[in-house]
Structure 1
Amino acid sequence: MRGSLVKNLALLFLVVLLAVLPLFIHRDAEFAGADSRAEEAILELAPDYQPWFKSIWEPPSGEVESLLFALQAALGAGLIGYYIGLVRGQRKGA
């Protein structure tokens, strides 16, 4: 039991380190999302490019967009966690 606790804590520390370390290495870097970087690359390659269509609804701010993205991620993680728990419970019960 003690060995698995130490191993789990070490893995947790490594995950946190991997998430935080880039913020200290590249202090002045702009961590933009993939959408904005793709848009920049397209405009650099073809400055006269016109999108085929416009969005039906655009969030009023970046904060609302981030909130909706976080809610979507939380809902997806919750559904996946529920499914995994359900399957494990059925296997233990059978």
Structure 2
Amino acid sequence: MKKTLMLLALVVALVILPFFINHGGEYGGSDGEAESQIQAIAPQYKPWFQPLYEPASGEIESLLFTLQGSLGAAVIFYILGYCKGKQHRDDRA
């Protein structure tokens, strides 16, 4: 019980701490930062690939990114649960 509470407190601290460390900062995406760095280093650079689908707005892009992450997490945890259940079943036999 004590270990669980300590882990929960650690998770809460890790979630809240960045807001105090970077107070008033801007949280931008890595794609935009990479694009600006590439333009600064090599202004003549032309992208060699165009996206297959360009979302209509940033909100839709965030939604698709979140759905992709959620689906990936669901697959990973399904596999972990399946393996744990299989191991538990084999231990009983």
Find runs of 4+ consecutive structure 1 residues off by over 2 angstroms.
Answer: none
In 1, the alpha carbon distance for the partners of 2:51 and 2:75 equals 27
Alignment counterpart, residue 71 of structure 1, candidates 67, 70, 78? 67
Instruction: Find the aligned partners of 2:29 and 2:4 in 1 and give their Cα distance.
Output: 30
TM-score normalised according to structure 2 size: 0.87
What is the aligned-residue RMSD (CA, Å)? 1.2
Task: Provide structure 1 residue ranges, at least 5 long, that are not aligned to the other structure.
Answer: none
1:80 alignment partner, one of 66, 76, 82: 76
> Percent same amino acid among aligned pairs?
48
Match of 1:35 among 31, 38, 44: 31
In the TM superposition, residue 47 of structure 1 has moved relative to its aligned partner by 1.8
Give the alignment's TM-score, normalised by structure 1. 0.87
* Cα distance between partner residues in 2 of 1:56 and 1:91: 42
* Count, aligned residues: 90
